[in-house]
Structure 1
Amino acid sequence: MKMKKVETFASIFGEDHSEVPSEKTDGTTSLRLEDLIPFKNHPFKLYEGDRFKDMVESIKNYGVIVPIVVRKIDDKYEILSGHNRVNAAKEAGLTEIPTVIKEGLTEEEATLIVTETNLMQRSFSELAHSERATVIATRHHAMKSQGVRNDLLDEIETLSKAPDLAQDETCGPLDHKLKTRDKLGEEYGLSPRSITRYIRLNHLNNGLKDLVDEGKIAMRAGVDLSYLSEDNQEMVEAIISEDTFKVDMKKAALIRRYERESKLNWNTAQKIISGDMLKSTGKVKPFKLQPTIISKYFNPNDDKKAIEKTIEKALDFYFSQMKNQSSDIEEGEEMIE
């Protein structure tokens, strides 16, 4: 395939962004749009509506300023960074696009380019839950891996024209002074527990991730469902999609329990997801607290309604603490460390 040389990498980004040694930079070439293919299982939502129209108009007026990043796959080039630019360039009537071709990448390194460059072009708060899960899980794996090239992580910033990202020793991508969950929590403004949940969420299949993004599965419920086998995830996805049910934490926890007990099948899953199982098993027979328990914590003159309210708050606090302790052990120690 014929490729023509265009502007150099340094001339596009400027000399002040040339932190990557020149011998590690491929330079920029122009590739035909018809020779490009999307990244397999691309995890990010593509631009649409006004945002896409604005990009098309910008390209019509100024061209594609920041080159896309690709790697060669057989006789095609797989897009690592620039899916929106490619789509907008096609809409703008272009036939070629400036490109940086990366060679010798591992699958991990290719995925890291996909996630990091997308994050640099958008705010983390803009991302859907599934997109956040992909970003965090990929970065977490990279931070714990000894084989990821430091130069590639630095070059990702240059490829995305993001010199404002922290580069010092305490904030570098592979800094190990803090635990990986704590480090990621600082970067993304999340608690270590939330980081752990997003990493777990990345174990959902793509269909269930979409349902989390659509709000049909609560985020915390998605964490529970991520422990299901692939077959059971597909079954749950089919049931939710078929009848447009929603899954909250109670339903997800019950589904997971039934799988552990080898009782989960289509009928039981359907009853849980529809709410029928909870209706039949969720009622507790009324009972009275022993007077000795009441007198232990309350005064004889306390109002009955106030006592009930206090007991309710105490139970809410107790069960939330039990849930958090279980979450820390199961999601933190077992999976992360």
Structure 2
Amino acid sequence: MAATKATEKSDAPAAEQVVQIPLSELHPFEGHPFKVVDDELMQDTVDSIMQFGVLTPAIVRPDPDGGYEMVAGHRRLRASEIAGKETMPVIVRNMTDDEAIILMVDSNLQRENILPSERAFAYRMKLEALKHQGKRQDLTSSQVGTKLRADEAIADQVGSSRNQVQRFIRLTELVPPLMDMVDSKQLAFNPAVELSYLKHEEQAQFLDAMDYAQATPSLSQAQRLKKLSQDGKCTSEAMCAVMSEEKKSELDHLTLRNDVLSKYFPKSYTPQKMQETIIKLLEQWQKKRQRDNER
């Protein structure tokens, strides 16, 4: 985002007006972290716009390079394009970069379904904007120290803790393939936070280590990888060794494939019947061992 865009807050009109702007003059907010996906929810929005139009105006700001930058309303813009509309209702507002970032993030954090990557980059953008605002205000205010820390302000707004906000922001240090795994729930949140402390080249090597072990890391494994990185010992060999270890959860479970068991049972036996029979045989075997030990 160009630092020259609306760097000073202009006098706002007494009452903001809704105006119709051609879609061709609207472009996305630079660095917008929220994905606009053509999914079922988008189709619902398209259907609504085709029937009733855009009921809630978007918020945009003038772009010195021409047109308007979308601040709030990216999904409505995309739905309007799909619906074949030529214009959409907007409120044009002069905003500084920091004000625009905060409004853009706040308007999207209200959504129910937000990916971890979206939340992570949104928190990061808002944190930097709040810190920037705070520094600028400190130059003109003597009440330094009375304001909440920026991360505390975000935590209060979203009903979370400052620590959790910082943990989400740590995810922005992940390389894209690992972040995608977090979004798709292939990689758990807590191990992902620990992996974010690995250097980017180490994270790239770790993708190969996961492929080698055909497994994702437990929290304990991720913590050990973080320690190896801090000690300068996070080599490909070390990562493969850690990932090849059996996890406690794997040691606590025994899986017998149906194709292995089926040759010992009639074809009419269901998996439940097989299990009951195995338990009975094991009980008989245990009693026999007890009798043998008592002799």
TM-score by length of 2: 0.63
1:134 aligns with: 121
2:228 aligns with: 258
1:233 aligns with: 203
Q: Does structure 2 retain, via aligned residues, the 8 Å contact 1:142–1:148?
A: no
1:99 aligns with: 90
Aligned pair in 2 of structure 1 residues 36, 142: CA closer, same or farther (>3 Å)?
closer
The structure with the largest alpha-carbon Rg is: 2
Q: Is 1:213 matched with 2:183?
A: yes
> 2:42 is aligned with what amino acid?
F
Picking from 54, 57, 73, the partner of 1:67 is 57
Q: Residues of 2 paired with 1:129 and 1:45: CA distance?
A: 11
Picking from 52, 57, 71, the partner of 1:80 is 71
Aligned to 2:13, the other structure's residue is in SS state helix
Q: Is 1:193 matched with 2:180?
A: no
Aligned pair in 2 of structure 1 residues 113, 189: CA closer, same or farther (>3 Å)?
closer
User: Which range moved further: 39-48 or 248-257?
Assistant: 39-48
Aligned pair in 2 of structure 1 residues 75, 177: CA closer, same or farther (>3 Å)?
closer
Q: Residues of 2 paired with 1:37 and 1:117: CA distance?
A: 17
Q: Is 1:116 matched with 2:106?
A: yes
Q: Is 1:39 matched with 2:29?
A: yes
Q: Residues of 1 paired with 2:26 and 2:135: CA distance?
A: 26
1:143-168 CA-partner distances (Å, limit 9, x unpaired): 44445899xxxxxxxxxxxxxxxxxx
Q: Residues of 1 paired with 2:102 and 2:169: CA distance?
A: 15
Deviation for aligned residue 1:118: 0.9
Deviation for aligned residue 1:87: 1.4
Aligned to 2:229, the other structure's residue is in SS state helix
Deviation for aligned residue 1:104: 5.8
Q: Residues of 1 paired with 2:34 and 2:209: CA distance?
A: 25
Provide the identity percentage.
27
Q: Residues of 2 paired with 1:63 and 1:238: CA distance?
A: 49
1:89 aligns with: 80
1:190-230 CA-partner distances (Å, limit 9, x unpaired): 23332332232333344432221212222111211222233
RMSD across aligned positions (CA): 3.6
Aligned to 2:71, the other structure's residue is in SS state strand
Q: Residues of 1 paired with 2:212 and 2:191: CA distance?
A: 19
TM-score by length of 1: 0.56
Q: How do residues 161-176 of structure 1 correspond to structure 2 at under 5 angstroms?
A: 176=146
Q: Residues of 1 paired with 2:228 and 2:172: CA distance?
A: 22
Q: Does structure 2 retain, via aligned residues, the 8 Å contact 1:35–1:76?
A: yes
Picking from 224, 231, 235, the partner of 2:194 is 224
> 1:138 is aligned with what amino acid?
M
Unaligned runs of 5+ in 2: 1-9, 138-144, 248-295
1:246 aligns with: 216
Q: Residues of 2 paired with 1:182 and 1:105: CA distance?
A: 22
Deviation for aligned residue 1:60: 0.9
Q: Residues of 1 paired with 2:209 and 2:26: CA distance?
A: 36
Deviation for aligned residue 1:27: 4.4
Deviation for aligned residue 1:129: 2.1
Deviation for aligned residue 1:259: 1.7
Unaligned runs of 5+ in 1: 1-19, 151-174, 281-337
Aligned pair in 2 of structure 1 residues 268, 77: CA closer, same or farther (>3 Å)?
farther
2:41 aligns with: 51
Deviation for aligned residue 1:95: 1.6
